[in-house]
Structure 1
Amino acid sequence: MIRARGRWHLFGIVGYGAPRGEAPDSSAETSFAHASAPTPQGPWTAHPDALTVAPSSFGEEHLWAPHVVEADGRFWMFYAAGGADGAAIDLATSTDLFDWTREPSGPLFRGLAARDPMVLRVGGEWVMYYTELSGPGGHHVVAYRRSADLVRWSEPGVAFTDASTDTTVSVTESPYVVERDGWYYLFIGPRNGYTGTDVLASRDPFRFDLTGPAGHVPGHAVEVFADGDTWWASAAGWFGQGLYVAPLDWRDTPPPRQSPDNPVAGLDVHGRLTVFALDAVDRSMLRRVQLDPTTDTWSGWEAFGGPAGAVPTLGRNADGRLEAFSLSPGGARLVHRRQTAPGGSRDPGAEFGEPGVGLAATPAVSLDATGRLHVFAVTADGRVRTRVQDRPSGGWRPWTAFGDRPVAPLVAGSPAL
């Protein structure tokens, strides 16, 4: 999103849908959409695609994550492309936002997984943030490079490192940094599900860590921009069927929220605690069981499945059987496991059905006065869906809407001082 000559211009990935529950083919994303509007809320006018893949001249096989800035009388579009020669960050320029010319020298630089570039003016230089890996099989990081002219870029530095070494699920995508009142805010995801973005705050634009949490936005690939005194957040993704914008409310202190990595515990029918946590390396689910409450002896950690997008939510049936509901790493699916008998082993697990738009967070589970479990889940569109057992300790009815009021508003804030 960029405002120029009295209108807002939108540039985004174009791709194809997929059957429900499956991920679309990201290699089929080969062009950039372009639309404009007088305000972020529209009405939007569609224009011809801004750019299409150029395999013959630049070895491009896909076009991802366009980001546009204005400088020196031109518009500069940074984007991710790649092919047989590996991941690359490319550049195209324009004088009118409609006709774009690629940088003749080709990609600005290449990397192991270089994608999702975002460029910000910091002091007297330009800084590019982008998604990267620390090395083959290494950590997911937000890397940065510096430039004076937007064409020649420095060697990379690292602004944020995620502790996980599981490279199958990226959690440092779509980095977006904004400055406000002397604080720099890094928006990254997907965190706590496919439609989740964490916000980290720092006084140093080149160093962010988990000691600076500032909020959480229920959206995928979130970008932040201001229109006068009004701030907005945009979000898009495979399962959203489009691009969304909403007002962004900055608060002095962030609202409390539970981390998806916090352990969870539940009491079984024999009065023994069961504790679940996520492995720090591969995010597989781990479990420990209290063997004897009187002596407080415990089993060792044992594998319970996964990887998972968060530790499971536990529910206890009327007959004492525990049920575990866990997010898939992408956050779009919910997996369900139950004990085959009170205090016994658990079944292998199965899909719990999709509530319609993909999940934004782990669900809540509770037993009502009739002995039936209820599951409440917030979906990507900000609504609550629910499933209820058809009888105590029995099967489950289909997902239904739980009112039309949106929940989990877009919020970010500075750390309390």
Structure 2
Amino acid sequence: MLPISRRSLLHGMAGAGALPLLGLGGARAAAAAVGDDPAPRWVGAEPFAYVYDPSDSGGPRYLNDHTLVHARGRWHLFSIVGRSAPRGEAPDSAAEVSFAHASAPSVRGPWTSHADALTVDPSYFGEEHLWAPHVVEADGRFWMFYAAGGEGGAAINLATSDDLFTWTREPSGPLFRGRAARDPMVLRVGTEWVMYYTEVSDAGGHHVVAYRRSADLLRWSEPGVAFADASTDATVSVTESPCVVRRDGWYYLFVGPRGGYEGTDVLASRDPFRFELSGYAGHVPGHAVEVTADGGTWYASAAGWFRNGLYVAPLVWRDDPAPWQSPDNPVAGLDALGRLTVFALDAADRSMLRRVQLDPYGDGWSEWERFGGPAGAVPTLGRDADGRLEVFSLAPGGVNLHRRVQRPDGGWHDWEEFGGPAGAAPAVARDAAGRLEVFALSPGGGSVARRRQASPGSLTWDPWQPGFGAAAGAPPVVAANADGRLEVFALLPGGSGIAHRWQEAAAG
């Protein structure tokens, strides 16, 4: 269970109705290009690399919401920092009372730790915690905006510095307060500054990304709403860590957690004050994602309770939808000879690897070996009625799906093209008649398609059924009920709910 102290600031309001199901929430931003500006790009990321461990003599520490700022030839990191919790537990975010500080010549490192930049001060208008720092440089100074809570409720505070090492709080106190105001991010838009932050709306308690405007970084306007999510669930926030960047005439909002704790959705808009789910432009598999450019390359940085430090990945801007990205866990299943077989991606070149249990009842395993085939994502497995494994893999770049089938003697047939919508590795299950069924997300999450084996164990498959499901915010999952009927579940666009569809009869 998540700690209440951080998430409970987001209070859902009773009586708020859910939005109706959307037909194409995962579609590309609908706005047409204006003038010479190109259409919005699809956004993804290359694999994240672990670049900084903030642990000290007291033991392992984690980072969370953070900021990166380039000044005087070096990159500086400021971040929520806390003591890592035992495996399987979430830390107490109320104990997040200081900001870690490190610097490096590049966002990729190597990072050098410095003394924590700021520590909570209860005498300063009742500060209770230090969350989500964001730093900008203006008028010869550095300005750090952060969430601090305290007397009078949620507050956004300010500290300034001349050297990035010594920080002084604004004497007049918090810049403003809100219902759940936190996770500030400040961007220069035209002749003014815009602050985006996490909030809950007065009407219905929806999770929103709010904004305020300022000419001097000290006095801020009344709030507006840049993005409103359908969710009113008080225990789960889905508009955290907002980060907005401008590229080629479009603004891109990175916001999460969406599609899981370590998931960030991207929404594109020409208007920096209005983002909608119809502007869905991609997904980055990281928590508290920040976006920056270093030497002409765009990077996403990520951190979180369970990662013990900072991760960095190059951003990818694409003309076509990026394949769904998620943490690269291995996948395993029993093969035709009753042995566990594990598939994973090589960390260096993303090729597919396999390791096989040598004895079904023993502990010995083969060495890792290359399995060949396309490897745009971790594959998924199906098991035929006679025990043979079938491997389904997404081609690099999401061109299409491929499949490789095990022979009865434990060997393997060659790879073959399987077609399909190719937005993600598919979900696979065996129906009550023994036939494998595959459910696949289309590029950009526009729909879900289905394909079924012609008969149990057959190498022949029926044609794709492209209209099996409408838009989804993540790849579907499938499981069999007690009577053998298959049931498919899919996250709705933007995480507004979960849809499901089930067979009316076993094998029907």
**TM range, smaller chain:** 0.5 to 0.7
2:223, 2:114 → 1: CA distance?
35
1:325, 1:250 → 2: CA distance?
29
The amino acid across from 1:138 in the alignment is G
1:250, 1:103 → 2: CA distance?
39
* 310 and 215 in structure 1: CA distance in 2 versus 1, 3 angstrom threshold: closer
CA offsets, 1:232-257, max 9 Å, x none? Answer: 11000101111111111111233265
Matched, 1:313 2:477: yes
2:298, 2:102 → 1: CA distance?
20
Is residue 172–residue 190 contact of structure 1 (8 Å, CA) maintained in 2? yes
| Equivalent runs, 1:286-297 vs 2, <5 Å | none
* 94 and 111 in structure 1: CA distance in 2 versus 1, 3 angstrom threshold: same
| Stretch of structure 1 that moved more, 205-214 or 79-88 | 79-88
The amino acid across from 1:233 in the alignment is A
Is residue 13–residue 31 contact of structure 1 (8 Å, CA) maintained in 2? yes
1:71, 1:254 → 2: CA distance?
37
Secondary structure in structure 2 of the residue aligned to 1:15? strand
Could you tell me which residue of structure 2 aligns to residue 6 of structure 1?
Answer: 73
Is residue 131–residue 142 contact of structure 1 (8 Å, CA) maintained in 2? yes
* 160 and 319 in structure 1: CA distance in 2 versus 1, 3 angstrom threshold: closer
Determine which of 41, 51, 63 is the counterpart of 2:108.
41
Determine which of 168, 187, 200 is the counterpart of 1:101.
168
Is residue 137–residue 167 contact of structure 1 (8 Å, CA) maintained in 2? no
1:319, 1:146 → 2: CA distance?
58
Deviation at 1:16, TM superposition (A): 1.8
The amino acid across from 2:181 in the alignment is A
Could you tell me which residue of structure 2 aligns to residue 154 of structure 1?
Answer: 221
TM-score (norm. length: structure 1): 0.64
| Equivalent runs, 1:137-152 vs 2, <5 Å | 138-152=205-219
Matched, 1:205 2:369: no
Could you tell me which residue of structure 1 aligns to residue 285 of structure 2?
Answer: 218
Secondary structure in structure 2 of the residue aligned to 1:211? helix
Q: Percent identity?
A: 79
Could you tell me which residue of structure 2 aligns to residue 376 of structure 1?
Answer: none
Could you tell me which residue of structure 2 aligns to residue 114 of structure 1?
Answer: 181
Deviation at 1:164, TM superposition (A): 1.7
* 27 and 212 in structure 1: CA distance in 2 versus 1, 3 angstrom threshold: same
* 265 and 247 in structure 1: CA distance in 2 versus 1, 3 angstrom threshold: closer
Determine which of 105, 114, 125 is the counterpart of 2:192.
125
The amino acid across from 2:231 in the alignment is S
* 147 and 160 in structure 1: CA distance in 2 versus 1, 3 angstrom threshold: same
| Stretch of structure 1 that moved more, 18-27 or 318-327 | 318-327
Is residue 80–residue 131 contact of structure 2 (8 Å, CA) maintained in 1? yes
Secondary structure in structure 2 of the residue aligned to 1:97? coil
Could you tell me which residue of structure 2 aligns to residue 182 of structure 1?
Answer: 249
Any stretches of 5+ residues in structure 1 without a counterpart?
272-308, 332-341, 344-417
The amino acid across from 1:315 in the alignment is A
* 317 and 245 in structure 1: CA distance in 2 versus 1, 3 angstrom threshold: same
The amino acid across from 2:479 in the alignment is G
Structure 1 vs Structure 2 CA RMSD: 3.1
The amino acid across from 1:145 in the alignment is R
Deviation at 1:324, TM superposition (A): 7.9
* 38 and 324 in structure 1: CA distance in 2 versus 1, 3 angstrom threshold: same
The amino acid across from 1:320 in the alignment is G
Is residue 125–residue 151 contact of structure 2 (8 Å, CA) maintained in 1? no
Secondary structure in structure 1 of the residue aligned to 2:237? coil
Could you tell me which residue of structure 2 aligns to residue 398 of structure 1?
Answer: none
Could you tell me which residue of structure 1 aligns to residue 146 of structure 2?
Answer: 79
CA offsets, 1:329-367, max 9 Å, x none? Answer: xx9xxxxxxxxxx97xxxxxxxxxxxxxxxxxxxxxxxx
Could you tell me which residue of structure 2 aligns to residue 58 of structure 1?
Answer: 125
1:55, 1:63 → 2: CA distance?
11
Task: Give the number of equivalent residue pairs.
Answer: 291
* 160 and 326 in structure 1: CA distance in 2 versus 1, 3 angstrom threshold: closer
Which structure: greater strand fraction?
Answer: 1
Could you tell me which residue of structure 1 aligns to residue 319 of structure 2?
Answer: 252
* 135 and 310 in structure 1: CA distance in 2 versus 1, 3 angstrom threshold: farther
CA offsets, 1:287-341, max 9 Å, x none? Answer: xxxxxxxxxxxxxxxxxxxxxx9797213499937588999xxx9xxxxxxxxxx
Structure whose CA Rg is larger: 2
The amino acid across from 2:213 in the alignment is R
1:112, 1:2 → 2: CA distance?
28
CA offsets, 1:83-129, max 9 Å, x none? Answer: 24211000000000000000001100000110000000000000000
Deviation at 1:167, TM superposition (A): 2.4
1:103, 1:88 → 2: CA distance?
13
Is residue 116–residue 130 contact of structure 1 (8 Å, CA) maintained in 2? yes
1:4, 1:232 → 2: CA distance?
17
* 186 and 50 in structure 1: CA distance in 2 versus 1, 3 angstrom threshold: same
* 266 and 41 in structure 1: CA distance in 2 versus 1, 3 angstrom threshold: closer
Could you tell me which residue of structure 1 aligns to residue 134 of structure 2?
Answer: 67
TM-score (norm. length: structure 2): 0.53
Could you tell me which residue of structure 1 aligns to residue 412 of structure 2?
Answer: none
2:81, 2:131 → 1: CA distance?
9
Deviation at 1:269, TM superposition (A): 3.6
1:230, 1:156 → 2: CA distance?
33
Deviation at 1:266, TM superposition (A): 8.3
The amino acid across from 2:216 in the alignment is D
Deviation at 1:18, TM superposition (A): 1.6
1:253, 1:326 → 2: CA distance?
22
Deviation at 1:22, TM superposition (A): 2.1
Name which structure has the greater RCO, CA cutoff 8 Å, separation 6+.
2
